[in-house]
A = this chain, B = another copy of it.
């Protein structure tokens, strides 16, 4: 499936911090790390675990530019 989210990167899950409603998942993409806050329900439903090969997807309207 192709997504309209303009930014899509392949990486690997390196850290998961679970909470009651939300969880934090850290994904290593090359030498960068992306932090994602998703629902705890998604972590469970997708069975996200350390070492998983994943895609991080980010909409263009969610990318802020600082100069």
Contact = CB atoms under 8 A, between A and B. Distances in A.
Question: How many chain copies does the complex carry?
Answer: 6
A59 B57 CA distance: 12
A58 interface: yes
B34 A7 contact: yes
A39 B48 contact: no
A61 B37 CA distance: 5
Interface residues of A, number: 52
A23 to B, nearest CB: 5
Given A4-B38, A21-B17, A63 B52 contact: no
A65 B48 contact: yes
B3 A41 contact: no
